Amino acid sequence: MSHLENVLNALGNRTEVSLSELIEFASIPSVSAQPAHKPDMERAAAWLSERLKRAGLQTVERWPTAGHPAVYAEYLEAGEDAPTLLVYGHYDVQPPDPLEKWDTPPFTPTVKGERLYGRGVSDDKGPLLLTVQVVDAYLSTHGQLPLNLKFLFEGEEEVGSKHLNDLVAQNVGRLKADFVLSADGGMWSAETPSLTVGARGLAALELTVRGPGKDLHSGRHGGSVHNPLHALATLIAGLHDEAGRVTVPGFYDGIAELTSPQRDGIRQLPFTDEAYLTQTGAPAVYGESGYSTLERQWHRPTLEVNGMWGGYTGEGTKTVLPAEAHAKISCRLVPGQEPGRIAALLRQHLEDKLPPGVTLEVHGSDHGARAYHLPEGHPGAVVARDVLAGLYGVAPLDVGMGGSIPVLETFQSVLGLDTVFFSFAVGDEDIHAPNEFFRIPRLYEGQKAWAQFWWTLAEKRQP
């Protein structure tokens, strides 16, 4: 029996333990966006460090940042001739709101059939943890790994990886690798393996519209001063035209039109709007006219309001004309769009279009990332395609990603490294929404794939 087969057998014998470890990890409410969860972030980092040590890694470090710490670990004993990979993932999770929409408590991971429900199980604790479990299997069966590995697990992915750029810049030497293999991301579907070859970027900001100096009685004052909620609605409504295009001047500058091969490739994918509507529960698809749904998701930039609020939002009636109204906006970017420039254009547009009788305050967000595209024929992509084809019996699809991983930009610009996505999450697992889940069989499938990826990459390097 080969070395790899022993590792796969060991993993096959440990599936229950693997799952119970994930349940334990996902029970820690490591919500990076909410200061109240700071102690939980520390607990999650400590749990992860401990698990890395237990896997047999000698070097496990807590890398502090101005925000939440990253966890770093390395294995360099494969020698200078072996490949070196930087494995990326994140142990922080999205806030669980709205809590009342969860069928089971978000931080009490719950098994139902072949699914594990809980915040963060799919994004990104399950996909992250399985990489550590593969290390454990290699080291416990043979005492060695076929390649050098560096693990960088951050705690701020869900808040825009604010401090990762600095952290990476401070550790350029230690993070040297051939490329990044990311445990974050997500596959096309549970049935069809896929390789993500691009991701949209992100620019975000928050705005506050102010009217009167204090909340007023809407009976007494209604109609005599501008209601900030009306002004905000006017601003937001004006951000798209009737064709679904963003109205911010310059927003589409520098973007390449989709090529015929790109459009053909997308048309051949097993995707229908009907199935998509069933999956999302939306009554209709909607977006920039002239593009199909997947073209909009992967190749066109968007502007979305993520939150909007003001006035009385509780039960019953309160006839108030509020002093303030708020909105959070994020844009998804495609190659050619610079996050800082897009944020500045949006800010300028909001100022230009501000209705009379109110003032505007725009808070920039650090949440920014350029779009990314994996070069054709990248060695990591080749191995990934081989492994996935072997595991699932069909050639994986090349797909785009509507979402953003700001670290792609960091790894590219600071370390000069490409990133290969190799996550075993699936795009329909309700990440960032209530009732997030992870498909339990994919924990073992992911382990097998990562074990094979490392083995295959190392084999290819052999003379």
Q: Quick one: which segment of 15-23, 112-120, 328-336, 437-445 binds a second copy (CB under 8 A)?
A: 328-336
Nearer to a second copy, 232 or 417 (CB): 232
Please tell me the distance from the alpha carbon of residue 241 to that of residue 304, in angstroms, as a whole number: 13
CB neighbour list of residue 50: distance below 8 Å, 6 or more residues apart = none
Q: Check binding of 426 to a second copy (CB under 8 A).
A: no
Q: Which residue among 58, 170, 259, 359 contacts a second copy (CB under 8 A)?
A: 359
Q: Check binding of 390 to a second copy (CB under 8 A).
A: no
In the complex, least distance from residue 155 CB atom to a second copy, rounded to whole angstroms = 13
Q: Which residue among 100, 274, 315, 376 contacts a second copy (CB under 8 A)?
A: 315
Strands 397-399 and 194-196: parallel
CB neighbour list of residue 446: distance below 8 Å, 6 or more residues apart = 126, 127, 130, 423, 424
Phi-psi region at 199: left, alpha or beta (left = phi > 0; alpha = psi -120 to 50): beta
Q: Locate tokens 């333990």: which residue?
A: 17
Distances (CA, A) of 195 to 19, 293, 376, 378, 431: 25, 19, 12, 12, 19
Q: Check binding of 358 to a second copy (CB under 8 A).
A: yes
Q: Which residue among 260, 268, 317, 462 contacts a second copy (CB under 8 A)?
A: 317
- For the chain, how long is the longest CA-to-CA vector? 84
Q: Which residue among 142, 226, 353, 385 contacts a second copy (CB under 8 A)?
A: 226
Q: Which residue among 224, 247, 259, 272 contacts a second copy (CB under 8 A)?
A: 224
Q: Which residue among 109, 406, 427, 446 contacts a second copy (CB under 8 A)?
A: 427
Q: Are 354 and 179 a contacting pair, CB within 8 Å?
A: no
Q: Check binding of 236 to a second copy (CB under 8 A).
A: yes
Q: Which residue among 56, 250, 335, 434 contacts a second copy (CB under 8 A)?
A: 434
Q: Which residue among 160, 198, 339, 380 contacts a second copy (CB under 8 A)?
A: 160
Q: Check binding of 204 to a second copy (CB under 8 A).
A: yes
Q: Which residue among 51, 68, 119, 367 contacts a second copy (CB under 8 A)?
A: 367
Nearer to a second copy, 132 or 248 (CB): 248
- Judged by CB under 8 A, the chain residues 114 through 153 that form the site for a second copy are none
Q: Quick one: which segment of 15-23, 190-198, 391-399, 428-436 binds a second copy (CB under 8 A)?
A: 428-436
Q: Check binding of 225 to a second copy (CB under 8 A).
A: yes
In the complex, least distance from residue 154 CB atom to a second copy, rounded to whole angstroms = 15
Nearest to residue 345, comparing CAs of 252, 232, 210? Answer: 252
DSSP annotation of 140 reads H
- Judged by CB under 8 A, the chain residues 13 through 52 that form the site for a second copy are 32-35
Question: What is the residue-wise DSSP string for 91-113?
Answer: --B----SGGG-SS-TTS-EEET
Q: Check binding of 335 to a second copy (CB under 8 A).
A: no
The strand ranges marked E within 358-429 are 359-369, 372-373, 397-399, 419-421
Q: Are 182 and 88 a contacting pair, CB within 8 Å?
A: yes
In the complex, least distance from residue 1 CB atom to a second copy, rounded to whole angstroms = 41
CB neighbour list of residue 62: distance below 8 Å, 6 or more residues apart = 45, 46, 49, 69, 70, 71, 72
In the complex, least distance from residue 358 CB atom to a second copy, rounded to whole angstroms = 7
Nearer to a second copy, 223 or 416 (CB): 223
Q: Which residue among 79, 261, 316, 393 contacts a second copy (CB under 8 A)?
A: 316
In the complex, least distance from residue 197 CB atom to a second copy, rounded to whole angstroms = 16
Count, residues near a second copy per rule CB under 8 A: 104
Q: Are 301 and 333 a contacting pair, CB within 8 Å?
A: yes
Q: Check binding of 187 to a second copy (CB under 8 A).
A: no
In the complex, least distance from residue 85 CB atom to a second copy, rounded to whole angstroms = 25
Strands 59-63 and 70-75: antiparallel
Q: How many CA atoms lie within 13 Å of 251's alpha carbon, on the beta-carbon side?
A: 21
Nearer to a second copy, 170 or 306 (CB): 306
Binding map of a second copy across residues 273-302, x = CB under 8 A, - = no contact: ---x---xxxxxxxxx----x--xx--xxx
Nearest to residue 399, comparing CAs of 384, 416, 379? Answer: 384
Sheet bearing 70-75, strands edge to edge: 59-63, 70-75, 148-154, 84-90, 179-182, 419-421
Residue 388 tokens, joined: 């996935």
Q: Check binding of 211 to a second copy (CB under 8 A).
A: yes
User: How many beta carbons lie within 10 A of that of residue 196, not counting itself?
Assistant: 29
Q: Quick one: which segment of 78-86, 237-245, 251-259, 442-450 binds a second copy (CB under 8 A)?
A: 237-245
